[in-house]
Amino acid sequence: MRNIVDNIYLSVFKKIIHSAFVWLAGTALILTIIADAQGQRVIRQIKQQERRQQMLKKIEERQRENLSPAENTSSTSNRNRAARHSLDGISQRGIVTLFSKEERELIIPGFGRAPALLVIFRQLDLTDEQKLNIKALREKVGTQLVDLRVKTTRSEQQLEETIYGENFDTKKVEEFSSQVASTQGELTKLQAEVESQFRQILTSDQFLVFRFLVGEMLLPQRRMTPAQMRQQQQNQRRIPSPQNQQTPPQ
């Protein structure tokens, strides 16, 4: 009788050991899968960072080429070019003098930070015709973007005060919610129209650089993923680059 009980205990013990080994093996497999997934994610992030650094490096090289005097330019032209980009005395003159009057005339109020936009324009090597088109776009937009941003911010503050203030009113909440949605919609629409005009003004190569830098420096919500960058480059190879024959925005 005792042998039978011992055999039963031994059988149960073996099953417990087997179940434990199965559980440990399953846990190890799951941990391995999780580790592999995390490793792949880290690798993708590293590759994305490398691609962005390569793109920025190419842009910096292009900027240096644009700023380097051509061999056939006169010494006077070279001196003027050097003076235009000189930082000597910038603390006394003011940071705004880093950009020429002609460059500042390209600023579209409310379209991101003005200095960042001007830095982007410098990378694009704009033609005189393109500059005229951008100035026409600036005149068309005026202060609409700024006004809509101020209006949206004010509506959001009123909505927040109505929700969290002492005098709660559901009707006011609905009213200000509608105002926020309306102004945000108008702002998004106008922002898209401005970017659409830039696509018509710039060549395909310029717009690729413009879109990349806008996402990195101006509007983070426009940041391009590596897949989008590759798709954009493939589209450029399929479609001939447009010439700068666009007319100024009406």
- Residue 26: both structure tokens together: 């399953």
Same domain, residue pair 49 and 118: no
pLDDT in tens, 156-212: 998 888 888 888 888 888 988 999 999 999 999 999 999 999 999 999 999 989 888
pLDDT tens-digit series, residues 6-32: 666 667 667 777 777 677 777 777 777
User: Does residue 158 share a domain with residue 54?
Assistant: no
Q: Which pLDDT value is given to residue 106?
A: 93
pLDDT on residue 59: 66
Same domain, 115 and 6: no
Highest mean pLDDT of the ranges 56-60, 112-116, 244-248: 112-116
In this prediction, residue 214 has a pLDDT band, given cuts at 50, 70 and 90, of confident
- The pLDDT of residue 135 is 95
- Do 127 and 117 fall into the same domain? yes
250 and 193 in a single domain? The answer is: yes
**Residue 166 structural domain:** 99-250
Mean pLDDT, rounded, for 36-62: 68
- Among 245, 161, 250, smallest CA distance to 201 is for 245
Amino acid 79: pLDDT: 44
Regarding whether 115 and 91 lie in a shared domain, the answer is no
177 shares a domain with 73: no
Cβ 246 vs Cβ 238: under 8 Å: no
Please give the C-alpha separations between residue 183 and each of 84, 153, 162, 179, in angstroms, as whole numbers. Answer: 40, 9, 18, 6
Residue 94: band (very low, low, confident or very high) from pLDDT cuts 50, 70, 90: confident
Give mean pLDDT, residues 43-51.
69
Q: Long-range pairs for 184-188 at CB < 8 Å and ≥24 separation?
A: 184/152, 186/148, 187/145, 187/148, 187/149, 187/152
Same domain, 128 and 200: yes
Alpha-carbon Rg of the chain, whole angstroms? 30
**From the centroid of its chain, how far is CA 38?**
25
* Closest C-alpha among 24, 244, 215, 220 to residue 134: 244
CA 30 to CA 10: how far, in whole Å? 30
Query: Is 154 in the same domain as 53?
Result: no
Which pLDDT score, from 0 to 100, does residue 81 have? Answer: 46
Q: What is the pTM of this model?
A: 0.54
> Each residue of 112-154: pLDDT tens digit?
888 889 999 999 999 999 999 999 999 999 999 999 999 999 9
Question: Do 114 and 237 have their domain in common?
Answer: yes
Looking at the structure, do residues 132 and 60 belong to the same domain, yes or no?
no
pLDDT at position 219 over 90: no
Per the structure, how many domains does the chain have?
Answer: 3
Q: Does one domain contain both 75 and 189? A: no
The last residue of a domain, from among 77, 97, 117? 97
Q: What is the mean pLDDT of residues 57-64?
A: 64
